[in-house]
Amino acid sequence: MNLKTEQNGAVTVIVVREERLDAHNSDELKAEMNRLFEGGTKDLLVDLKEVRFIDSSGLGVLVSGYKNASTRQGSIKLCSLQSQVKSMFELTRLHRVFDIYQTVDEALESY
């Protein structure tokens, strides 16, 4: 899976550089988020601008990251969702759980 992890001040940004986030590759995102949280990361921003398709496994991995962040008094936020991905969050009502921003800049300003 192609992930780019970068530091922006106190916020760690993971850019998911894949068209699909699904049952085939989402475990790698889960492992990367776990690695970051275990390494002391508190605030994680997941940039989904390149993701055109997300399935229930991809959503489940983000929920896992949300719970992981909560137990460590950290946070996970999402940004740059394409319309189909956004509609999946709405269908599963996860848009009520996550803080979702239009752009990376807007998300970074929220901290």
Binding stretches for other proteins (CB under 8 A): 20, 22-24, 53, 55-57, 59-61, 63-64, 66-67, 84, 88, 91-94, 96-97
Closer to other proteins by Cβ: residue 100 or 104: 100
Contact 61, 28 (CB under 8 A): no
Shortest separation between residue 24's beta carbon and other proteins, angstroms: 4
Closer to other proteins by Cβ: residue 56 or 103: 56
Closer to other proteins by Cβ: residue 30 or 49: 30
As a dihedral over the C-alpha atoms of residue 59, residue 101, residue 51, residue 54, rounded to 10 degrees, the angle is 20
Closer to other proteins by Cβ: residue 86 or 108: 86
Could you give the residue ranges of the DSSP H alpha helices within the chain?
Answer: 26-38, 56-71, 83-91, 104-109
5 sits in which H/E element: strand 3-8
Encoded amino acid at 23, one letter: A
Contact 52, 19 (CB under 8 A): yes
